[in-house]
Amino acid sequence: MLKISMENIDKLYAAIKESRDLFLPIESAGQVQFAEYTDDAVVRLDVLKTVKSAKDAFFPQSEDLMEFKVCGKEIDVIPPSGDMKEFVIMGVKACDAKSFEILDRVYLKEPIDSYYALRREKGLVVVQACGRPEESCFCNVFGIDATAPVGDVVTYLVDGTLYWDAQTEKGKELTEKIASVFDNADANDDAKVEASKAETKAIMEKLPFANLDLSRFNGENMMEIFKDERWNELYKACLGCGTCTFVCPTCQCYDIKDYDTGHGIKRFRCWDSCMYSDFTMMAHGNNRNSQMERFRQRFMHKLVYYPSNNEGIYSCVGCGRCVNKCPISMNIVKVIKTMGVTDNE
């Protein structure tokens, strides 16, 4: 394991930037989001959660797909450039790192999404173990260890020192290129990291949502949960604003639109939400015409449909962003607590 003092952390950023683009949790206008690093950026590795998740690096909120040039009856289709530069996204927490696996199961299965696949190929993930989880966190419910995130490089921020441990070939290759900025960690450093991990685990065990029960959410109970009358009460407070879907690390829905630039047509895709009344709207209308149906769809997918088709892996990572951001406090935790028990319990 290697280490670098936070007083010298700019040297690490500069070393990475020599060969790759670098994305970090950066504060701007009072909010912390993943953004490309610049020399004057205010980097906040100390912040637990960015407002939006790290999925933007691989599944951007808006992404150009192709352009069309029209000349008379001739149409030229211009694909996007394939020469994307390699990049590093650093400071990713365990919940967001787990979300990449969930997105992979959607976009890297046949037919493979080439846009997503290219970003996954070019991207290197530097994860960071959590220090002090918040009350809204419940990643442990989904089997995620906040102190042992999965990535190409694992880092630990303890007492003003960043510890660096390469895990994959990608991570080791990067580490060799920038090794000169680090010092070697010793046994005392290992002890500090282990003590920090133990402290974080102790906090996780005491959080309000640490013991949520997911046992009822399985394929065998699918129709029973789907037909449960309690959906009719749960959904009523929902505004259908889509905030939960836009801060969620695992939401995968998008829309495709064409834009007339004045000298051609640009086709792009952008995030969409299953909570919107015009989601998947077609000539004949919408499959889910009521807000209740749309509300139910979102949580059935997270807790029942996705795990039923993916070896029991839920499409939620317990990051708690929806808990923090829902304007009427109707979030997945309330759904789990309500729908996770039968009527007679």
Supply the pTM of this predicted model: 0.92
- Residue 82 pLDDT exceeds 80: no
Asked if residue 344 has pLDDT above 60, the reply is no
> What pLDDT score does 216 carry?
94
Q: What is the pLDDT of residue 345?
A: 52
pLDDT score, position 263:
81
210 and 202 in contact (C-beta within 8 Å)? no
User: Once rounded to an integer, what is the mean pLDDT over residues 240-248?
Assistant: 93
Query: What pLDDT, on the 0 to 100 scale, is given for residue 274?
Result: 87
pLDDT at 219: 86
Euclidean distance between CA atoms 39 and 56, whole angstroms = 22
Tokens of 93: 């927490």
pLDDT (0 to 100) of residue 5: 97
- Antiparallel, parallel or unpaired: β 254-260 and 265-271: antiparallel
Q: Please tell me the distance from the alpha carbon of residue 153 to that of residue 165, in angstroms, as a whole number.
A: 6
pLDDT tens per residue, range 142-158 = 999 999 999 999 999 99
Q: Does pLDDT of 285 surpass 90?
A: no
CB atoms within 10 A of CB 186: 10
Distance CA 230, CA 236 (A): 11
Q: What percent of the chain has pLDDT over 70?
A: 97
Provide the residue ranges of all domains of the chain, joining segments of one domain with +.
2-206, 219-339
Q: How far is CA 330 from the centre of its chain?
A: 20
Q: Which pLDDT tens digit goes with each residue over 185-239?
A: 999 999 999 999 999 999 999 999 999 999 999 889 999 999 999 999 999 999 9
